[in-house]
Amino acid sequence: MITNYLMETKSLNIVSKDNYFTWASGIKSPIYCDNRRLLSHPQIRSKIIEVFIKKIDKKNTHAIAAVATAGISWGAIIADRLNLPLIYIRSNTKAHGKQNIIEGNTQGIKEVVLIEDLISTGKSSMEAIENLSKAHIKTSKLLSLYSYNLEKAINLFRVEDVVWESIDNINTLFSSDYINKEQKDNLREFLCLLNS
Q: Is the pLDDT of residue 58 over 80?
A: yes
At what angle are helices 42-54 and 70-82 packed, to 10 degrees? 70
Weakest mean pLDDT among 15-19, 100-104, 141-145, 150-154: 15-19
Predicted confidence at residue 194, as pLDDT, reads 87
For residues 101, 104, 106 and 111, what is the CA-based torsion angle, rounded to 10 degrees? -90
Instruction: Give the residue extent of every domain in the chain.
Output: 2-195
In whole angstroms, what separates CA 120 from the centre of its chain?
8
pLDDT at 97: 66
Residues in the chain: 196
Q: Could you read off the pLDDT of 18-29 as tens digits, one per residue? A: 789 988 888 889
> In this predicted model, what pLDDT tens digit does every residue of 156-196 receive, in sequence order?
999 999 999 999 999 999 888 888 898 899 999 999 988 87
Q: How many CB atoms sit inside 10 A of residue 121's CB?
A: 18
Q: Is the dihedral of CA 104, 89, 149, 165 positive or negative?
A: negative
pLDDT in tens, 62-72: 899 999 989 99
CATH architecture of 2-195: 3-Layer(aba) Sandwich (3.40)
